[in-house]
Amino acid sequence: MERILVAIDGRHGAWEALSHACSLAKRVQVLVYVLLVMPTAPGRERATDKGGWQSVKKRLELHLAAAKAEGLAINYFMTEGHYEDEVINFVNHHKIALLVHETRGKDARSAARDAVALRALRHRLTCKLEVVAPMKTLVAYPRG
């Protein structure tokens, strides 16, 4: 059975990537793995993060519960370390066939940073990579 990985940086969610992976899993027989990578903070406790990673973790657990309620096979892992290294190690160790990665480029500067990081990640991967861009929220203004 094929294996799909959605890797989530502990500071940001990857909700579109997770949604895409779950949608794909509904259509074909695949296992979905979710890896939450918490950044290491030497000399500081994660409690000083003021709930940033806690809110990501809480929202992730809600998404996973909903997906499991729909009958999807999802395995959830959490680790601490450098995002790129942890993803590469996980892909190699669990024989992942596809990594679904979400871009975070909301402006030109962050899009450029994301492209550089994605290029570095892609060259180290032993699996296919699918990039998902978050949908932009449309705001409806009342006429008048």
Q: 91 with 127: CB under 8 angstroms? A: yes
pLDDT digits (tens, 9 = 90+) for 78-111: 999 998 999 999 999 999 999 998 887 666 666 6
pLDDT digits (tens, 9 = 90+) for 57-76: 888 899 999 999 999 989 99
Q: Is 135 or 20 the better-scoring residue by pLDDT?
A: 20
Q: Is 96 or 49 the better-scoring residue by pLDDT?
A: 96
pLDDT digits (tens, 9 = 90+) for 118-136: 888 888 898 999 988 876 6
pLDDT digits (tens, 9 = 90+) for 22-46: 999 999 989 999 999 988 766 554 4
Band (3; pLDDT cuts 50, 70, 90) = very high
Each as own residue / partner, the long-range contacts of residues 38-42 (CB below 8 Å, 24 or more positions apart, any chain) are 38/10, 38/78, 38/79, 38/80, 38/81, 39/9, 39/10, 39/11, 39/80, 39/81, 39/82, 39/83, 40/80, 40/81, 40/82
Q: Is the pLDDT of residue 47 over 50?
A: no
Q: 40 with 9: CB under 8 angstroms? A: no
pTM given for the model: 0.80
Burial environment of residue 28 by CB neighbours within 10 A (0 to 12, 13 to 18, 19 or more): exposed
Q: What percent of the chain has pLDDT over 90?
A: 40
pLDDT for 140 equals 56
Domains of the chain with CATH codes: 2-132 (3.40.50.620)
The DSSP element (H or E) to which 99 belongs, if any, is: strand 98-102
